[in-house]
Chain A
Amino acid sequence: MLTATHLSKTYPTPAGDLTVLRDVTLSLNAGESASVMGPSGSGKSTLLYILGGLEPPSSGTIDLDGKNPYALSPDALAGFRNRDVGFVLQDHCLLPQCTLLENVLVPTLVGEADASAPDRAKALLEHVGLADRLHHRPAELSGGEKQRAAIARALIRTPGLILCDEPTGNLDADTAATVADLLIDLHAKQKAIMILVTHSEALGSRFARRWKMNRGMLSL
């Protein structure tokens, strides 16, 4: 279960403090998912980074299956992200120097050793339709193919929390639909919690929970 209570985030800037999140509270159980929609600058991505352990909140708490990631030491927090969180970002962020298979396996280079990881990586890539591109580099793939590989990478550790930041933002409508299908399908199979940020009404409406963000405030 994921619970966030009274989350706020303020950034100091030379022009004065900038409050990006205001008193956000939410909760989701395992297997549940939600979309977050809102105008640009409303704090959607910031909420995702805070939930994923990438950015500490200015105030408030987070609890994922009884763990508050921000109460952990920096190394333990890294371990939390490695084990319990999977990110799918708008810009796929594949490492250009690695092949697709290597990219998917990158999260397994740290944390607990997992002898089955290569097989699982191949299975994931096959599931996302890239079985024949294992040894290709990102520069040789289309945008949709890269994003599918990024999805496989996010799931290699079977995380309990999947966070997606505009995963289809750079894709055309057909490719976006394919990627969205994949995400929803894999989420259903893994019984993880998934939160997806999107501008796309079509994508957002496919989720049972549709949250709105506006000026840092979340309305459930």
Chain B
Amino acid sequence: MLTRASLRYYAGTNALVVLGVAVAVAVLAGALLVGESVRDSLRQLALARLGRTDIVVTSPMFFRTALAQNGAAPLIVAGGAVAHDESKRTAGRVAVYGINEAFGKFQRIEGLTISGREALISEALAAELGAKAGDGITLRVAKPTDIPLSTLQGRKEVTGQRIRLTVARILDRAHLGEFSLSPSQGPVLAIYVPLDRLQRDLNLGERVNAILGQGVGTIIPPDRITLDDLSLRSRPGPNGETIVESRAGFITDALADQVAKIAKSDQRGAVPALTYVANSIKVGDRAVPYSTVAAIDYGPREQKESRPPVWLNAWAAEDLKAKVGDKVTLEYYIWTDEDGLETRSAEFTLAGVTAMDGIGGDQTLTPDYPGISDAPDITSWDPPFPVDLKRVRPKDEDYWDHYRAAPKAIISLADGQRLWGSRYGKVSSLRLSGSAPIDPKAIDPAAAGFSTRTVRADALAAAQGTTDFGEYFLYFSFFLVISALLLAYLFFAVGVEQRTTEIGVLASMGFSSSAIRGLFVREGAILAAIGAAIGIVAAVAYSTLILYGLRTWWIGAVNTTDLTLHISPMWLAGGAIDVFIVGLAALWLGIRAMSRRSARSLLKGDAALVTSRAKAITKAIAILLLIIGAALLGASALGAIDQTAGFFGAGGAWLVGGLCAASIFLRRRRSSTTLGRGLAGMFALGIRHTAVRPARSVLSLALIAFASFVLVSVGAFKKDVTAEQNDARSGTGGYALMAESVAPLMHDPNTADGREGLGLERGDPIVSSTKITRFRLRPGDETSCLTLYRPTNPRVIAPEPRFFDQPRFSFSSSMAATPEERANPWLLLKRTFDDGAIPAIADQTTLMYSLHLGVGDDFTITPEGHAPVRLRIAGSLADSFLQSELIIGEDAFVQIFPRHEGYRVWMIETAPGTDATVTTHFEDRLSDYGVDVIDTRARWASYHQVENTYLATFQALGSLGLLLGTIGLGAVLARNVLERKREIGLLRAVGFSPADIRGMVLSEGLALVGGGLLIGAGCAIVAIAPALRDRAQALPLTNLLGLVAAVLVTAVLASSLAIRLTSRAAITTAIKGE
């Protein structure tokens, strides 16, 4: 009965309690809904972009199209660059898919059949190029090569292929225009090209490098794999043996092991051989040009001499007039990516002569090399290295006619592998005894680089997000939720204070403390339940608004408009229940305090007297928090704890401590002082009233203080791009531009030879005016703040040695232990760990928000055809433009990513004012490599925009908190005026003018907002001090002035309702208290 009657009678106050709870539920549940909606949207987007693809099988070496069976779709997947023929607009990082009719059938989509030079492009690519159906475009892709580019036999000139196409259609999402095997939420630049066109132009025959499949398990029937699919071939040897070779020239260690195991299990001998080209074989002043040398275990390798043994065939021994014991010098080329082509030599001692009808004339020791093996004579050779044909003698041609590429010299396998072994393998052939063929089914396809990715499962895992968006918005909304709960508590407490006498009467009638508490808690529970129910509905509206904001005002944070609301009853209920419980607990605490007062004081309607014990506790808490704050500041200054955490902790501790101190200050016993006269007197009277209901005043202060703290501190973290162009320590590392190519760039543009190798002029003035640092690249998942997906296979780059000459960028932390490492933490990339982990460096933002790693943590990646590799974070970069990649050492890179050859990323230092010229020049002259150049500062700024957008969201929600504070303060002031009706009536009766009364009320409002601002903003300045110092920034005065203006407006608005109430009642009515 009482509960129902009280709820009806105090409906006005109760409505405000319900409002507070509803807002808290709306914000909390809404934040959780936002998180679930983003996750769901990312899931739907990733799955839509996969079509029906569950798994994809890939290989770094191309394999037969016919391997795709049972409805699987073969295709070529590559990266490319596209240019619009007419407008010359270009797009880089384009996903290129070579498809046939099987793709459309697999995806169950009509209209994906293309032929000739037709191409289908995605809507985003069409927008980027300004292209429409019928337009001419030029696609540039890397030319696949079986023989690795970073070997002597690899063809390094013009590693890109240009293909002219016509846009047949622009594909929308429904027609898989956004097909993507890696999840990302941004626009997809994709192009579909006829598979046979791509195969023809890239000279691939009938080969592909990927198969799409459905379901789980293998989609390549094992009995259909041939040696050719594994990049192997076999042929009979001269003595009935079986010779196994690779299309790549070298047989990889993994495949060589597999073949050796098969031979062993078949009880067959397996003899490895490595054959190389020597520019000269010299004895004394006589030389034989351009001969092959075979490294194979032939004779005894007793090394009585200081030089290792060599055997010449009879032809070479006779031509060189060599005899056993003579010094034989081999001169040969070696290719290194750092220095290009070098000539080296090695000395041997002649140990013997081999017969031409035996191993001395065995042509099968030399694998087929395109451009050499099929040449009719030596002068027709077309090798990928320089040949001085003037050195070729008629007898050399004669040898070629009779013996072709039969090695003229034999050295031991160990010596050959020492001189010519590479990361691609250490043998060029394996000679198995017996003529039985090698069964390809016995070879593990993984050894040949085949890998299967469960792209659908990976996409679902990645859609969980880099950081839980719900969690993000919960943090952003934290103060808003607290403010709303404080508001609800404030109104409830005001309502309870209003009924002080009623509580006393109930006590006098025999209601126990628990019975009284029960009454009010029942009321509070009903109000909280109503508020929660309204809040659930409002949460849907709030989250709809937030998602709208993410798609529009804050699109910079998410880079997609594909976010839709997903209503999850679980999250809604969870948010509502959480607030209900917290709110009820707060109400119970408030009632408990009230019900513990004596019935007498309640009956008299006395304000709650804080006991001396409570005062002492509050004082102790204030002092403790002050000490804790000071301790945190000291620890931060000494570097014992993270500076940002320390200063924020100190600011937060002092914020709460400041509110406790305000509580003590308001409750202090004043000695008699005069109030003054006139305006000063009115103001003093108004300010004095804040101490009448100190609990209410402190709650109001808290609302304003929290909002001020958030608004001031968040504003300090906004980032600008302020670096000087050539500042090596800045976030650009002193590089003005970054170029990325589709095809590997094998030559060094900093040298004349390198420029010539790239097809540029040797003295190209524009390129010569720049300094370029080259990086290797293994493409992968985006890791910067631009992505919402959790990266599992990040982009990896590795710098060439000259990068370490000068310390670049700034580090926020690292494992540097030596003075050299501290001076240049990049040297950590050269460190070796006993457990085999590979050091890596990344941007701090990437580590914190995308990978959730810190310095010292490990991250496992699985390179194609390689065992999983552990990367250990050795350093984190402070705010750089390198958010999109992990950086490792070059030695480690070439070991674990051998098929990602050459350098595809150039970081370019330019002369002031030449950026645009250099960009145009590089993109134009290196278009065959699909080079795309970006401004590093623009890239850096785009990351800052994302971060600033998140901060803007935080500030927007903080502003909402300030709005709630205004509402709360307004209600408190209005309540205070209503309670002081008689007092105000008396003041007016003794001659106070309405303006005097207004000034009194306004001063109370100003005192509360001013106090809240002082506490909140003051503590925020403490919190942001290190951030300001690190950026050499002054106090954010614009921010502060804006905040002061906002809170002044708050004070006036909040006081206005109260002021209106003061002038309503007639003086006599007010005095009578009616």
Cβ contact within 8 Å between A81 and B509: yes
User: A97 to B6, Cβ gap below 8 A?
Assistant: yes
- Docked-complex contact A78 and B501, CB < 8 angstroms: no
Let me know if A93 is at the binding interface, CB within 8 A.
yes
B857 contacts the other chain (CB 8 A): no
Q: Which residues of the partner chain B approach A105 to less than 8 Å between Cβ atoms?
A: 1
B2 touches A89 (CB 8 A): no
B892 in contact (CB, < 8 A): no
Residues of A close to B508: CB separation below 8 A: 52, 54, 81, 85, 87, 89
Q: Given A49, A52, A96, which contacts B9 in the complex, CB threshold below 8 Å?
A: A96
**Contact yes or no, B507 A14, CB < 8 A:** no
Q: Which residues of A contact B502 (CB under 8 A)?
A: 93, 95
Q: In the assembled complex, which residues on chain B have CB atoms less than 8 Å from the CB atom of A83?
A: 510
B contact residues around A106 at 8 Å (CB): 2, 506, 509
**Distance to closest chain A CB from B1061 (angstroms):** 20
Q: Kindly list chain B residues whose C-beta atoms are within 8 Å of the C-beta of A54.
A: 507-508, 598-600, 603
Residues of A within 8 A of B507 (CB): 54, 78, 81
- CB of B514 within 8 A of chain A? yes
Question: Which A residues touch B509, using CB under 8 A?
Answer: 81-82, 87, 106-107, 110, 153
Q: Counting CB contacts under 8 A, is B298 at the interface?
A: no
Q: Which residues between 37 and 51 of chain A lie within 8 Å of chain B, taking CB atoms? A: 46, 49
Contact A75 B598 (CB under 8 A): no
Q: List CB contacts (< 8 Å) of B578-606 with chain A.
A: 598-600, 603
**Nearest opposing residue in chain A for B604, CB measure:** A45
Residue from the set B10, B513, B599 with the largest chain A CB neighbour count within 10 Å: B599
Q: A14-B669, A93-B501, A106-B2 are in contact. Are A80 and B510 (CB under 8 A)?
A: yes
Give the Cβ gap from B508 to chain A, nearest Cβ, in Å: 5
Q: Which of A82, A87, A96, A102 contacts B1 (CB 8 A)?
A: A102
Is B505 a contact of A82 with CB atoms below 8 Å?
no
Cα–Cα distance between A52 and B504 once the two chains are bound (Å): 13
Which A residues touch B501, using CB under 8 A? 91, 93
B512 located at the interface, meaning its Cβ lies under 8 Å from any Cβ of chain A in the complex? yes
B515 at the interface (CB under 8 A from A): yes
| CA A109 to CA B3, docked complex, whole Å | 11
Whether A66 sits at the interface, judged by CB under 8 Å, is no
How many angstroms between the C-alpha atoms of A54 and B510 in the bound complex? 10
Residue of A nearest to B8 (CB): A97
Complex Cα spacing A153 to B509, Å: 9
B510 touches A111 (CB 8 A): yes
Cα A213 to Cα B599 with chains together (Å): 23
The chain B residue with its CB closest to the CB of A14 is B669
Residue of B nearest to A77 (CB): B512
Is B511 in contact with chain A by the CB < 8 A criterion? Answer: yes
Chain B residues within 8 Å of A79, by CB: 510, 512
Within 8 A of B (CB), among A100-141: 102, 105-107, 109-111
Shortest CB distance B647–A (Å): 39
Contact B598 A78 (CB under 8 A): no
Closest residue of A by beta carbon distance from B501: A93
Of all chain B residues, which has the CB nearest A105?
A: B1
With most chain A CB atoms within 10 A of its CB, the pick from B9, B512, B515, B600 is: B512
Q: Which of A52-108 contact B (CB under 8 A)?
A: 52, 54-55, 74-75, 78-83, 85, 87, 89, 91, 93, 95-98, 102, 105-107
Known contacts A54-B598, A55-B600; is-contact A110 B511 (Cβ 8 Å): yes
Chain A residues whose C-beta falls within 8 Å of the C-beta of B9 in the assembled complex? 96-97
Residues of B within 8 A of A96 (CB): 9
B-side interface residues toward A, CB under 8 Å?
1-2, 5-6, 8-10, 501-502, 504-515, 598-600, 603, 669
Residue pairs across A and B with Cβ atoms less than 8 A apart, 15 shown, are: A49-B599, A49-B600, A49-B603, A52-B508, A81-B508, A81-B509, A85-B508, A87-B509, A89-B508, A95-B5, A97-B2, A97-B6, A102-B1, A102-B2, A107-B509
Those 3 A-B pairs whose CB atoms lie nearest each other, nearest first: A82-B510, A97-B9, A78-B512
Give me the interface of A with B, judged by CB distance under 8 Å: 14, 46, 49, 52, 54-55, 74-75, 78-83, 85, 87, 89, 91, 93, 95-98, 102, 105-107, 109-111, 153
